[in-house]
Structure 1
Amino acid sequence: DARHRGMPIACEACGFDFGRAYGPRGQDYIECHHRTPLHVTGETNTRLSDLALICSNCHRMVHRARPWLTIEALQDLVVAQRSAG
């Protein structure tokens, strides 16, 4: 949807834009993350609203340790770290 509206595709947690960083090679690239893990919902159908668009680094940080971070918690962490240093 963002792409069709001419908006850049950027990480919802940190704002990273693969296209801006890597040029044409990174254009329109992003990872999808299920906001609620499939094993929790038991769902087999995924709606767009079930997904967050995040960069590879943020995706790893979400899943680095349990309990997994929500996208909102990761956003807060990113903002706090940027403010601290």
Structure 2
Amino acid sequence: MSAPRVYLDASTPPTAANVAGKIVPFDVPPATVLQGLFLQLALRSHEPDGQINPSAPYSRPYLAGPAALLDAKTDLGTVIR
């Protein structure tokens, strides 16, 4: 597969005009949960130093659910491979 590649930053929404016939990489915005979520999900934990703060944020792009972002982009005729 080959096509021109164009990068759209977070401030530029994809439209049929600016993505048609192009390969468009995009950033996935980070999502945030509290570190305490992991403590609630764990069967056991060994944390003798007490470094996990249950009320501290944990922010990563993979928590944002990239599938939902890709689903939103398929209405523009996006092909995902």
So what's the TM-score if we normalise by structure 2? 0.27
Larger-Rg structure = 2
Larger fraction in helix: 1
